[in-house]
Structure 1
Amino acid sequence: MEREPFRNPGRVTLRDVAQEAGVSIKTVSRVINGEREVNPETAARVSEVAAKLGYRPNELARSLKGRRTRTIGLMIADISNPFYAALARAVEEVARSRGYTMILCASSEDPEIEREYVEVLSGRRVDGLLFVPAPGDGSHLRREQEAGLPMVAIDRPAEGIRTDTVMVQNAAGTRKAVEHLISHGHRHIAFIGDDKRLHTTRKRLQGYLEATRATGLRECFRLGCSTTSAAEEAMLELLEAPDHPTAIFAGNNLISTGVLEAIARAGLRIPYDIAFAGFDDFPLASALRPRLTLVRQPVDELGRKAAELLFDRLEGEKSSSPSRIILPTRLIVRESCGCAPS
């Protein structure tokens, strides 16, 4: 009798592989576990079917009721970025207080690396996943989500799937900072931002445009500055123009570093020759001279809220509808914008 084609839309089990390969579950188990008592041709057929269906060894264990590893995964974008280091610390504190261990991964903003790490974390049978989504379509995460793995996106929403999300007021925070520069009389303000595929970049650019368009100011922005050196080069190009900006807004902490390097190389003084403001406050910002005016994200709260939301899902305390939490930002006014020292 001819078998019906495999149509299971959920997580693939040993039974699914056995049915498709036309063998017993015990035989599949032996092949998966590398036992030698299986005919080589049969083993090859089972391995081919398992690969075709996307079976992974942890799937039976996950199906056992109440089975947990008490581990969660956290995938950030860049392990060297102080923002993500602070975020990871906040998540880890919540996880430890709940008796869980956290496994940390970094995607480097690469969807393929993100996919590979999700498979690794799934193979380790994590109970839940917190992640800063890589840019682009995140539909490769849907299979894990549909199979029952709770997920919470941090800092930006995941494209292609519906999941819980915790982020901050990127547009409002930027708009307030640019409006503050405008209040100092600046009429040519430039914006330097990260990869335009990132939700945070687009929202911060939106805030900049809202502020400049509301007052009829000239728009001047550069995107795609994903590294400090790229931001430095973009800033130098702006400064080399005959009519260069009198104020600059940097889209994140790494961009701020590049912008400041460029201003120093050009021999300009902040805020006398050019005013500065940026997104992402950091500890040394108040130690530099002049002290830097920056938008502060509640990074600790961002990590805690996301972790708590994930544990609520694990404990069955949340509704089935995804939640979206947006935390407020705060403009920390210092001297780099032109304000007198406090």
Structure 2
Amino acid sequence: MRDVAALAGVGIKTVSRVINREPNVSSATIERVQSAATRLNYHPDIQAGNLRRSDRRTQTLGLLVGSVANPFSGAVHRSIEDAAASRGVAVFASSLDDDPARERVAVSAFLRRRVDGLILTPVSKSQGYLLSEQEHGTPVVFIDREPSGIDADAIVSNNAEGAALATRHLLEQGHRRIAFLGDRHDIWTASERRRGFLEELGRAGVPTGEAWLVEDLHDEHTAHAAIEGLFAGARRPTAVFSAQNLITIGAIRGLRERELQKKVALVGFDDVELGDLLDPGLSVIAQDPDRIGTLAAERVFARLDGDDRPPKTVVVPTTLIERGSGEIRPHE
């Protein structure tokens, strides 16, 4: 705090007032203090008694997932907690909700609590803001999406190959008019799944320019509306690849409302709870969130135990599960 005060040209008490958001501090002073804190990578410790020293840890991890409401994130969270509990380590978890600003806020909150390591699902354009923290010895492991601006361990699914596998399966059933329903186009996983879809169409000689690409869907409601739009016109797809589990739920609802669930093929990326009980059962490209979480926990603990080998990205395979919806042949 003394360093921040010196750099900002104010007193220590003023820095404390800014950090604690006390009133009657000018906006100019707040800006100088915050700028100095950012330059010095200063994070106020809300639990001074837990201040980390070279011979002491807080026995905590910070975990940032896409959304605790998403079953995939929940499964990853559970496997990390299981691994951490076996070592007497607590896990602080927060939802990202694909908001870059929220990523920085959550990470800052973790660091203020002096967590021993970070396991993060990134969404901002660069995670370079973590370089200084990494240099100070805090291990950082990324899950679900590869980071940018920092060289760190990452555990991800084989998104492009999984999407290609889904597309290939639909092509093998005789489909050529296939619609792609994707998440936000600027999210790494979504762009990888789009890439796998388009490349597989290209390999099969299907003009990619004629494919239905409906992107920037983020939940079942927007996906439901997308299905409504796709089947409102005269030219319609005979198959749908929904590239995210919440989007798949919206697609299921939309198809069932139009009584198309047995006429239009559907393959989803990531499994959906009770998908095997539908009629027809839901065909999916299944990820392995338990494996992803376990590997992420293993990497962060290995780093804490002194593993200083170069960072690496581990790609976890996906699996096609045929249940019926993806095996419907074209009706037109």
Q: What TM bracket, shorter-length normalisation?
A: 0.7 to 0.9
Find the aligned partners of 2:13 and 2:134 in 1 and give their Cα distance.
25
| Sequence identity (%) | 35
Match in the other structure for 1:265:
257
Q: Secondary structure at the match of 1:283?
A: coil
Q: Quote the offset at 1:216 in angstroms.
A: 1.6
Q: How many residues align?
A: 312
Find the aligned partners of 2:301 and 2:204 in 1 and give their Cα distance.
45
Match in the other structure for 2:295:
305
Aligned CA distance change for structure 1 residues 22 and 216 (closer, same or farther; 3 Å): closer
Aligned CA distance change for structure 1 residues 30 and 96 (closer, same or farther; 3 Å): farther
Match in the other structure for 2:104:
115
Find the aligned partners of 2:34 and 2:228 in 1 and give their Cα distance.
54
Q: Is structure 2 residue 44 aligned with structure 1 residue 57?
A: yes
Aligned partners of 1:135 and 1:197 also within 8 Å: no
- What does 1:1-342 correspond to in 2, within 5 Å? 16-17=3-4, 20=7, 52-54=36-38, 55-58=42-45, 64-218=53-207, 219-270=211-262, 273-319=263-309, 321-338=310-327
Q: Quote the offset at 1:299 in angstroms.
A: 0.8
CA deviations over 1:246-270 (Å, ceiling 9, x no partner): 0110001101011111111222232
Find the aligned partners of 1:138 and 1:208 in 2 and give their Cα distance.
28
Gaps spanning 5+ residues in structure 2: where?
19-28
Give 1:107's aligned amino acid: L
Q: Report the more deviating stretch, 101-110 or 218-227.
A: 218-227
CA deviations over 1:258-310 (Å, ceiling 9, x no partner): 1111111222232xx21111100133111111111100111100000011100
Find the aligned partners of 1:174 and 1:201 in 2 and give their Cα distance.
10
Match in the other structure for 2:23:
none
Aligned CA distance change for structure 1 residues 242 and 100 (closer, same or farther; 3 Å): same
Q: Secondary structure at the match of 1:91?
A: helix
Find the aligned partners of 1:146 and 1:29 in 2 and give their Cα distance.
29
Q: Quote the offset at 1:206 in angstroms.
A: 1.1
Aligned partners of 1:111 and 1:138 also within 8 Å: no
Aligned CA distance change for structure 1 residues 68 and 262 (closer, same or farther; 3 Å): same
TM-score by length of 2: 0.85
Q: Quote the offset at 1:161 in angstroms.
A: 1.9
CA RMSD between the two structures = 2.8
Q: Secondary structure at the match of 2:274?
A: helix
Aligned partners of 2:252 and 2:261 also within 8 Å: no
Q: Quote the offset at 1:143 in angstroms.
A: 3.6
Find the aligned partners of 1:318 and 1:301 in 2 and give their Cα distance.
23
Gaps spanning 5+ residues in structure 1: where?
1-13, 35-44
Q: Secondary structure at the match of 2:149?
A: coil
The structure 1 segments of at least 4 consecutive aligned residues displaced by more than 6 Å after TM superposition are none
